[in-house]
Amino acid sequence: MLNLEFPCDVERLENGNTLICDAGSRLGNGSQVIEVTSGGEIVWQYSQNLSFAHSAKRLRNGNTLIADTNHNRVIEVSPEGVPVYSTDVDIAKGLLSDGSHLHYPNDAHLLPDDTLMITDRNNNRCIQITRKGEILWSFSEGIHHPHNCDMLENGHVLIADSDGNRVLEVDRAHNIVWEYGRLPSQELSWPRDADRLPDGNTLIVSSRSSTAFVVTPENIIKWKYHVPYFANFYDADYTSSGTYLISDQQRHQVLEIDESGNTVWQYRNFVLTQPLFDRLQNGSFKHTYDDGSPYGWFLHTRLAEGGGSLIWDINAAPRPMPGIAYDRSGVCCLSQLIRVEPGIEYTVAGSIHVEEIADDAFCYLQMAFIDEYDALVTDAASAPKGQFFTFCCPYTEDRFTSVAPDNAAYAEVRFVVTGHIRAFIKNVFVTDF
Q: Which CATH architecture has domain 276-432?
A: Sandwich (2.60)
Report yes or no: 114 and 132 within 8 Å, Cβ to Cβ: no
pLDDT reported for residue 325 = 98
Distance (Å, rounded) from C-alpha 119 to C-alpha 104?
Answer: 9
Distance between CA atoms of residues 284 and 300, nearest Å? 19
Listed in sequence order, the residues at least 6 apart from 290 whose beta carbon sits closer than 8 Å to its beta carbon are none
Averages of pLDDT over each 10 residues, the chain, 433 residues: 90 98 97 98 97 98 98 98 97 96 98 98 98 98 97 97 98 98 92 98 97 97 97 98 98 98 97 97 98 97 97 97 97 98 98 97 98 96 97 98 97 98 98 86
Calpha distance 211→33 (Å, rounded): 24
Query: What number of other Cβ atoms are within 10 A of residue 261's Cβ?
Result: 12
Cross-strand partners of 128: 117, 137
Q: What architecture (CATH level 2) is domain 7-268?
A: 6 Propeller (2.120)
| Strand blocks (E) in 208-252 | 211-215, 221-226, 233-238, 244-248
What pLDDT, on a 0 to 100 scale, did the predictor assign at position 26?
A: 97
Per-residue confidence (pLDDT) for residue 185, from 0 to 100: 87
Q: What are phi and psi of 24, to 5 degrees?
A: 110, -175
**Residue 353 and residue 393: Cα distance in Å, rounded?**
6
Strands of 7-12's sheet in order across: 7-12, 18-22, 32-36, 42-46
- Give the domain ranges of the chain: 7-268, 276-432
**Separation CA 293–CA 281 (nearest Å):** 13
Whole-structure pTM value: 0.97
- Residue 417, H or E segment: strand 410-432
Which of 18, 8, 22, 111 minimizes the C-alpha distance to 59?
Answer: 111
Provide the residue count of the chain: 433
Cα 127-69-156 angle, rounded to 5 deg: 25
Backbone angles phi, psi at 55, to 5 degrees: -135, 150
What distance in Å separates the CA atoms of residue 380 and residue 249, rounded to the nearest whole number? 13
In whole angstroms, what is the distance from residue 369 CA to residue 414 CA?
11
The string of DSSP codes covering 321-351 is: EEEEEEEEEEEEEEEEEEE--TT-EEEEEEE
d(CA 374, CA 314): 35
pLDDT at 2: 77
Q: Which residues pair with 193 in a beta bridge?
A: 205
Omega within 30 of 0 (cis) for the link into 198: no
For 149-173, the DSSP string reads EEE-TTS-EEEEETTTTEEEEE-TT
Query: In this predicted structure, what is the pLDDT of residue 130?
Result: 98
Sequence-distant contacts of 129-136: CB under 8 A, at least 24 apart: 129/96, 129/97, 131/85, 131/90, 131/91, 132/90, 132/91, 133/87, 133/91, 133/92, 133/94, 133/95, 133/96, 133/97, 134/96, 134/97, 135/96, 135/97, 135/98
Dist CA 11 CA 246 (whole Å): 9
End-to-end CA gap in the chain: 41
Helix, strand or coil, per DSSP, at residue 419: strand
Rounded CA-CA distance 374/132 in Å is 42
